Amino acid sequence: MMHEPELDPPASVRVPEGRRPFPPAAVLALAALAALGFSACAASLSVSIRGDRSAGAALRIELPAELAAKLAQLRGDPEGSALPLVDPDLVRSGAAEKGIRVLEAKALGERGFSGLFEIADLGVFAARSLGAVTVSSSATGGSLSVAIDKTNAAELFALFPGIDPYLVEALSPPALDGSDLTKAEYREMLGALLGAKSLPAVDAAAVELVVELPGAPVASGTVGFVTTGRSAKASVKLLDLLVLERPMTLKVSWGR
């Protein structure tokens, strides 16, 4: 239930010449896309919301050698260059622009990334999404909602630090580039890009968001999430996110 957007990369985020490192958000998308087609692939994102509207996030990505090699081909790495999958410096630069504090950002060799992040005020962070993300709080509780369509997908995508324009260009998701491709047409395009044998994985791939809440979930104010204790989990098919033929809404509410 996360969504990807198109965009002009921030001018102040400099991609070193000869390198096209992938950002965590983009790698998560491709990792999910190929997760069932390659063994031993792992990508996880968890967010913990606190009572004062601050939040912490943990991200870890580990890809098998086959998938890492495909990504290296997409970004044009010189053969045998052994460049990291994600450039921590690029992540730090992008995070600073978005008001995100990076506690840890490190490459796990050529095939992985680990990051810990802090957001001082989710409300301020969400305000930059032009309505894609909304956070509310009161004396009795609060809520987090994500409402995505083709009019705001780019703004939501731009909230994630270190966006790599080269990967976005390679994948050309209709949700971002303004094209009117249907899900079936885009699926065919991905088959040509990643190989026909990847299509079963494309169909099954999903993006998962796990949110730890500051209070007990309120069922009447929850849409699209499954709650257990104070945890809320949402899973959306990746193809639906990349194409956005229909708007998507996710919401979780909690009490004090």
Amino acid at 136: S
Number of domains in the chain: 1
In a domain, 42, yes or no: yes
Between 199 and 124, the more confident residue is 124
**Side-chain half-sphere of 198: how many Cα atoms within 13 Å?**
22
Average pLDDT over residues 201-206: 74
Query: Distance (Å, rounded) from C-alpha 88 to C-alpha 77?
Result: 17
In a domain, 6, yes or no: no
Q: What is the pLDDT of residue 42?
A: 47
Q: Has residue 3 been placed in a domain?
A: no
Whether the CB-CB separation of 31 and 183 falls below 8 Å is answered with no
Is residue 176 a contact partner of residue 6, using CB atoms and an 8 Å limit?
Answer: yes
- Nearest residue to 139 via CA among 22, 254, 48, 16: 254
Q: In 10 A of CB 11, how many CB atoms?
A: 6
Average pLDDT over residues 186-213: 81
Structure confidence at residue 49 as a pLDDT band (50, 70, 90): very high
The per-residue pLDDT for 205 is: 72
Q: Which residues contact 219 (CB under 8 A, 6 or more apart)?
A: 227
CA gap 11, 14 in Å, rounded: 7
Confidence of residue 160 (pLDDT cuts 50, 70, 90): low
DSSP state of 31: H
pLDDT at 198 over 60: yes
pTM: 0.74
Which residue carries 């978005």 as its tokens? 98
Closest CA to 9 of 101, 102, 93, 122: 93
Rounded to an integer, the average pLDDT of 2-25 is 40
For every residue of 200-212, which 3-state class applies, written as one string? HHHHHCEEEEEEE
The Cα–Cα gap between 224 and 50 comes to: 21
Asked if residue 17 belongs to a domain, the reply is no
112-119, strands of its sheet edge to edge: 100-107, 112-119, 55-62, 42-49, 206-212, 231-237, 226-228
* Residue 11 lies inside a defined structural domain of this protein: no
The dihedral through the CA atoms of 68, 69, 75, 78 has a sign that is positive
**45 within some domain:** yes
* Element spanning 89, H or E: helix 88-97
- Asked if 241 contacts 132 with a C-beta cutoff of 8 angstroms, the reply is no
Q: Residue 11: pLDDT band by 50, 70, 90 thresholds?
A: very low
pLDDT at 232: 95
More confident residue, 158 or 233: 233
Backbone φ and ψ for 44, nearest 5 degrees, come out as: -140, 140
16 within a domain of the structure (yes/no): no
Q: Which two tokens mark 160?
A: 């994630």
* Domain of residue 153, residue span: 24-255
Q: Residue 98 contacts by C-beta under 8 Å, 6 or more apart in sequence?
A: 125, 128, 159, 160, 161
- Whole-number pLDDT of residue 48: 95
Residue-level pLDDT at 63 = 65
- Inside any domain, residue 55: yes
For residue 132, what is the DSSP state?
S
Higher per-residue confidence, 218 vs 44: 218
Average pLDDT in the chain: 76
Residue 101: its pLDDT value, please?
Answer: 93
Rounded mean pLDDT of 44-56?
A: 90
CB neighbours (10 Å) of residue 139? Answer: 6
